[in-house]
Amino acid sequence: MASSVLTIIAILACAFSFVDANPNRKICVVKGGQSKDIDDAPAILHAFKECGQHGKVLFNPQTYYVNSVMNVSWLKDVDIDIHGTLEWSTNITYWLNNSMQVGYQNQSTAFIIGGDNVRINAFGTGTFNGNGDDWYKWIRQQENTSNYPGRPHALTLSRLTNSAIHGLRFLRSQMWNGLGIAIGSIGQYNDQFETIERVSVNDIDYENTLHAFYVKTWTDDQNGYPPNGGGGGLGYLSGVEVTNLNATGLRGAAFAVSQCTRFSGAPGVGNCTNSQFQIKNVAIKNLSGTTKSTRVASLQCSAVAPCSNITIADVDLRLANSTLASDYLCGNLINPMGFTCTGDVCVGGSATGEC
């Protein structure tokens, strides 16, 4: 599997400044063991314990080897400067038995960050390297290749408020490597009402990811139960703005909507247009770079609750021969803004946001 990189330059829940109001705050420099055989997680946790409230935790420009789980969900008014790389071990047996549950489906994680007034700055170079290649090879040998219990996410932000993340790179994540920024699965729990509102994402760099941004919902038909089955959920997504995106070598539609998820990894047969979860008021602006797909958008929306008020503007995505990507494939879309649909979208189940 080709590697991919997602760099988060800024994801803001509110206006926020990285200027340190207290230059005299305590600083804890994480000292790594400089060897894959030495677990740096204890040193990292010690630094957070000493400086995780009203202090600063500083990672030097070196590789830190993380061989065990870390939970720092109690942070307060802290700066976290990441100049180096945190590299997770490939001890699959350990992670399967020790990754931390996140309280949703059967999902688990290797690292939890939570608290209030947390400022993470990775300067565009600080990296979380999940060493995912070993996981990708391993999962292909299992009978269940989707949502395998114990397979961890690289990072979970848990009850993180009034906080900002800047310039953090994700490389070869252990779980769900190179799909782009995803919202979903949604509507997986029968008769449960879910809402996603007021999401702002900006200044993102992508390298060899499948999409730039995608939304995925389950159909209205319940097939089995989570994590690898479900459907019949209710609700809406509204007020999403994604701006200033730069892509290198996208592999699929830059912006994708799939409302045809029925059960994991198998398209099967069924109704792809009956989801009751509605997607509306979404804006994708200022998207540029290179792509391997002619599709700028693939919008497979529900006929029961059509997508509405979708804006795609200021796009300059080019193929290897320098021609513009120009396909906008649409189904059950009301009031598109900034673009014109050029053809019908494919109809079929997907685990990754597109047929």
CA distance 18 to 244: 20
221 and 231 inside one domain: yes
For residues 41 and 99, membership in a common domain is answered with: yes
- Quick count: other Cβ atoms within 10 Å of Cβ 188? 25
Among the candidates 121, 143, 178, a domain finishes at: 178
Question: What's the predicted TM-score (pTM) here?
Answer: 0.80
* Mean pLDDT along residues 32-61: 97
As a whole number of angstroms, the distance between CA 161 and CA 159 comes to: 6
Q: What's the token pair of residue 191?
A: 């008769």
Closest CA to 71 of 95, 98, 29, 100: 100
> Which DSSP string corresponds to 184-206?
EEES-STT-EEEEEEEEEEEEEE
pLDDT value for 168: 94
Same structural domain for residues 57 and 81?
A: yes
Per the model's pLDDT, the better-predicted residue between 141 and 225 turns out to be: 141
Are residues 196 and 117 both part of a single domain?
Answer: no
Domain count, the chain: 2
Q: Residue range 277-301: average pLDDT?
A: 97
187 shares a domain with 173: no
* Last residue in a domain, options 139, 159, 178: 178
**Mean pLDDT (whole number) for 265-275:** 70
**Percentage of residues in the chain with pLDDT exceeding 70?**
91
C-alpha 306/C-alpha 279 separation (Å) is 7
Q: Specify whether 144 is located in the same domain as 227.
A: no
Per the CB < 8 A criterion, the answer to whether 166 and 206 are in contact is no
Identify whether residues 168 and 202 lie together within a single domain. no
Single-letter amino acid, residue 7: T
Please report, for the domain that includes residue 72, its CATH number: 2.160.20.10
**Does 161 lie in the same domain as 186?**
no
One domain, residues 136 and 191? no
Domain boundary among 119, 143, 178: 178
- Residues 297 and 307 sit within 8 Å (Cβ to Cβ): no
Cβ atoms of residues 275 and 215 within 8 Å: no
Same-domain pairing of 340 and 251? yes
Task: Report whether pLDDT(101) > 70.
Answer: yes
The whole domain housing 209 covers 179-355
Residues 242-251: tens digit of each pLDDT = 999 999 999 9
| Other beta carbons within 10 Å of 114 | 17
> Distance between CA atoms of 270 and 260, rounded to whole angstroms?
9
pLDDT band at 84 (very low <50, low <70, confident <90, very high): very high
Which contiguous run of DSSP H or E holds residue 132?
A: helix 132-139
